[in-house]
Structure 1
Amino acid sequence: MHQLTYGDIKAATDRIAGRVRPVALAQVDPGAIRTAHRELLGERSEQPCEVWLALEFMQHTGSFKARGAQNFLQAHREAGTLPDSGVTIASGGNAGLACAWAARQQDVRATVFLPETAPAVKVARLRGYGAEVRLVGAEYAEALAACEEFAAATGALASHAYDHPLIAAGAGTLLEEIHARVPGLDTVVVAVGGGGLFAGVATAARHHGIRTVAVEPENCRALNAATEAGHLVDVTVDSVAADSLGARRASALALAAAQRGGVQSVLVPDGEIVRARQALWDHRRVAVEHAAATALAALTGPDRHGPDRDLPSRPAATSRSYRPAGGEKIAVVLCGANTDPSDLAPRTAEH
Structure 2
Amino acid sequence: MHPTYADVKAAADRIAGHIRPVVLAPADPDTIPTGGELWLALEHMQHTGTFKARGAMNFTLAHRERGDLPKVGVTIASGGNAGVACAWAATKVGSAATVFLPSTAPTVKVARLQALGAQVMSGGPTYADAAADCARYAETTGALRSHAYDDPYIAAGAGTLLEEIVTQLPSLDTVVVSVGGAGLFTGIATAAAHHGVRVVAVEPENCRAFNAALAAGHPVDVTLDSIAADALGATRVSEMSLTAAAAADTHSILVTDAQIIAARQHLWDTRRLAVEHAAATALAALTSGAYLPRPSERIAVIICGANTDPSDLVPSR
With the shorter chain as reference, the TM-score category is over 0.9
| Partner SS for 1:3 | coil
1:339 counterpart letter in structure 2: T
Deviations 1:226-270 (A, max 9, x none): 110011100001100000000000011111111224000000010
Residue 260 of structure 1 corresponds to 247
Moved over 2 A (4+): none
Residue 300 of structure 1 corresponds to 287
2:292 counterpart letter in structure 1: R
1:184 aligns with 2:171: yes
Give the distance between the partners of 1:51 and 1:270, measured in 2 at CA: 22
Which protein is richer in helix relative to its size?
Answer: 2
| Partner SS for 2:156 | helix
Shift of 1:136: 1.1
Deviations 1:286-324 (A, max 9, x none): 0000000000000011x4xxxxxxxxxxxxxxxxx1111
1:134 counterpart letter in structure 2: M
Shift of 1:161: 0.3
Contact 1:191-1:292 at 8 Å conserved across structures: yes
Considering only aligned residues, what root-mean-square deviation do their CA atoms show, in Å? 0.9
| Partner SS for 2:75 | strand
* Structure number with larger C-alpha Rg: 1
Give the distance between the partners of 1:34 and 1:58, measured in 2 at CA: 27
Give the distance between the partners of 2:100 and 2:89, measured in 1 at CA: 16
Give the distance between the partners of 1:267 and 1:30, measured in 2 at CA: 23
Give the distance between the partners of 1:32 and 1:157, measured in 2 at CA: 44
Stretches of structure 1 that go unaligned for 5 or more consecutive residues are 36-47, 304-320
Give the distance between the partners of 2:258 and 2:282, measured in 1 at CA: 13
Give the distance between the partners of 2:284 and 2:314, measured in 1 at CA: 20
Deviations 1:192-243 (A, max 9, x none): 0000000000110110000000000001110110110011100001100000
| Partner SS for 2:57 | helix
Shift of 1:31: 4.0
Contact 1:31-1:49 at 8 Å conserved across structures: no
Residue 22 of structure 1 corresponds to 21
2:183 to 184, 191, 196: 196
Shift of 1:34: 1.0
Give the distance between the partners of 2:286 and 2:41, measured in 1 at CA: 14
Contact 1:291-1:336 at 8 Å conserved across structures: yes
Q: How many residues are aligned here?
A: 317
Give TM-score scaled by structure 2 length: 0.99
1:86 to 73, 79, 83: 73
Stretches of structure 2 that go unaligned for 5 or more consecutive residues are none
Residue 287 of structure 1 corresponds to 274
Residue 308 of structure 1 corresponds to none
Residue 264 of structure 2 corresponds to 277
Give the distance between the partners of 1:345 and 1:32, measured in 2 at CA: 19
Give the distance between the partners of 2:30 and 2:110, measured in 1 at CA: 40
